Amino acid sequence: MKYRNWLRDPAIQGSAIGHYLHLFLILLVFWFLLCGQIQTSDVLAGICFCAVISYLCFPLLLLENREREKKYFVFQVPVLRLALFGIWLLKEIVQSNLMVARAIMGQDNQIDPRLAVFRMPMDNPMAHVLLANSITLTPGTVTLEVTEEGHYTIHALNEEMARDLLSGRIQKKVASLFGEKDVMYENLGFSSVEVEG
């Protein structure tokens, strides 16, 4: 990757300086946490090193969209909204844990694997990463494939989990988190998985 003048790159979404300062502050806080003490020499060294490292690493933290027209900064997510999403995801993880426990320990065998498929053509690559990882973090579902066009193939433990996933709640939450409210979610259905044995 060439280190050109990224300050003037029109493809970067948002303020390049703002993103640079965001990265600088993250590194500076980390520096102070590792330092353990705050002396003038540590503060000056931290500021200098974090400024240089931020300048050198910034281009590596820019992700291009599929059309290669726009560049998104990796940490370009509002912290408060991300925290609220994390709390909501924790609630979903607990509920899914209960569903998985009920499916495994229930009298009748409720394990009936399904492949759920949907399309969510978001522009920001980090939105795809967060959505795929959030689905995989939720017990009973595993992201198998994500294409550049936004087609997702998910393995679900049973039909109830596949239907819950295909309701579109998590997809719309992630799109909203990244400011992609005009993205059209498309439910492509689910199918049974043949299990040998």
Q: Which residues contact 17 (CB under 8 A, 6 or more apart)?
A: 7
Claim to verify: residue 98 and residue 181 sit in the same structural domain: yes
Residue 43, domain extent = 6-73
Q: How many CA atoms lie within 13 A of 112 on its CB side?
A: 12
Predicted local confidence at residue 125, as pLDDT? 93
Q: Is the pTM of this model over 0.85?
A: no
The answer to whether residues 178 and 123 belong to one domain is yes
Q: Which of 60, 61, 81, 93 is nearest to 178 (CA)?
A: 81
Do 147 and 51 belong together in one domain? no
For residue 50, with 0-12 CB atoms within 10 Å meaning exposed, 13-18 middle and 19 or more buried, which class applies?
Answer: buried
Same domain, 128 and 174: yes
Average pLDDT per run of 10 along the chain, which is 197 residues long? Answer: 66 87 92 86 92 91 89 88 96 94 82 92 94 96 94 93 92 93 86 70
Domain tally, the chain: 2
Q: Same domain, yes or no, for 69 and 86? A: no
Instruction: Quote the CA–CA distance of 127 and 175 in Å, as a whole number.
Output: 7
Last residue of a domain, one of 73, 105, 126: 73
| Claim to verify: residue 26 and residue 61 sit in the same structural domain | yes
Q: Are residues 63 and 135 in the same domain?
A: no
Q: pLDDT, tens digit, for every residue of 54-84?
A: 999 988 889 898 888 899 988 888 889 999 9
Let me know if residue 197 belongs to a domain.
Answer: no
Confirm whether 1 is domain-assigned.
no
